[in-house]
Structure 1
Amino acid sequence: MYPASFEYVAVDSAEEAIDSLAEHGDREVTLLAGGHSLLPMMKSGLASPEVVVDLGGVDALSGIERGDDATRINAMTEYAAVADDEGLWSDNPVVPEAAAAIGDVQVRNVGTVGGNVAHSDPAADLPAAMLAADATIHALGPDGEREIPAADFFQAMFTTALADGELLTAIDVPHLGSDDAAAYVKKASPSSGYALVGVAVVLETDGEEIADARVAANGAFDHAMALEPVEEELVGGSLDDESLPERAAGRATDDVESYLVLDDEQASSEYRAHLLEVYAERALETAIDRVGDGSNADG
């Protein structure tokens, strides 16, 4: 199926993209990054923008920059670059592990991190990883730059904290300590590869006890969400407590009304709730097993 006709605008900088969004503000305008979400929606008629602003020529929005305390992933960086980045695997593996779980090689070589996060697809892999990583999203708009904590960014299905006329430019991923660990696991849809349920975990520990925990899920709800009851069960828990992952994962649907769990042709809400507990337990077991293996050393 062919998309409806539209005006195509190619830009060379983030500032030019912001100007284009403002210039066409009286029309339906959208940004094109990797295109793996937008183009299928346009072909199916689910999206019919009047103006498409292509970010493909903005070189400044690509690449990974490692700092002392965090690594910056620029918005147009492909999934494959993140999945293959040894520094990220060492400093906060939840993000490259989620990137490596996306689609296939062809998709990972073209799809972009910023496009994935800004799209806020409930079944996308990166949003939960960004929540667990405690990432910071950088946005540029007509009024300048601003920072948005990942915890405030994902608001509903295909809805984020980005304002009209704003562009996601980069994401900062904090580095973990040497006794900290992370993991991302998912149950993929056999037809699409998207997550029926995906769970991301970051554990901050002293090597014996969990001092802080961030656990988030995608695929189960209309947007990526933190699993706060699971986090509460984990904090203060002993890493030697073999029952802790199962006990904490069993709280994955606590305080969640049943109607909030997605129910579609891929999986019923009851099955997704079951998967959420199963994959939360697997993610926790994986993260706990990684504590002390030296993969998250700062610096």
Structure 2
Amino acid sequence: MSHAARRPLLAAAVAATSLALCAPGAQAATKVSKSEKAQNTAIKKAQKSATSAGKTAKSASKDAKKALKDAASGIANAKTADDKAAAAQNGLNVLFGQVPAVLDGLTKLASGLTAAGEGLTKLGDAFAAQEYGVVKVQLGGNDVPGAILTSSDIPDDTNAATLSGTVLVPVPADVTSATPITLLAGVRSGESDGTGPDDPVASAGIVTLTTAGSPGLIIGGGNAPLPATVPITSKANAAAGGAPVYPIPFKAPRVDATPNPFSFPTDKAIDLTDPATLQDFTGAGSGPFTVANPTGQTAVATVTLTVRFNDLTASATDVTA
């Protein structure tokens, strides 16, 4: 039989078979074998497994998408952090670039502070090393209460500190014979010199000194036979290069153990009225003025003076000398 003839017969057979299978009676009459049941069960399990696998795959897909999103966020954060780190590094580079200038500035500041410290130390030394000239009047070798004067600070460049003034000298009624009025000079010093004749604290000399008295008081001495109104003065001192000043070997402390601004230790002073140091105008000699009181009552003498103090051994670099 030819292929063309077979085709209609085959189509009819397929159609008949399909009708038989679709018919209810035929389906009910068909008995399902155990192997088919097992096969159907396996198919259902496979379908469930496939469904579960699909769900799992879908969940994994979601997780993967979230992971990708987190990764992208992490990369963005990392880039931001990297940018910040780069900016910080740039800032550090700028800062490090300024370190040499800062160190140079600190070095200069340290040098300036050192110089300032040295200056303050020198200033402190200069303040502590101030020295003052002091003169006091004695009558018959005894201090006259209150008859004491103090100069300003004696310069350390050999210039003079000069003091001037007038003091009163009570002359008791029992001073009936010529009694000398002497003038002593000393220096209160915080400097290192003033330890003896080879290292005097300063020098002093009388510029002028006169003495006058109340009525009845007899004034003598001085430049006799010249009138008592002629002042006495210190003569040139060859040992001081001709300057009319004389060395004061020992210094007195700035403040005595028992402070008393109206006293001065006699053993630290020199006698400016020593005849050996006074100018002799007449060749007859010169000496301190004297007073005698024949009035029977206390009389008063006045002593008017100007005295210079010089530190002739001052150091140009050591303010304590």
- State the TM bucket, normalised to the shorter chain: under 0.3
Structure having the higher helix fraction is: 2
**Structure-2-length-normalised TM-score:** 0.20
- Structure with greater Cα Rg: 2
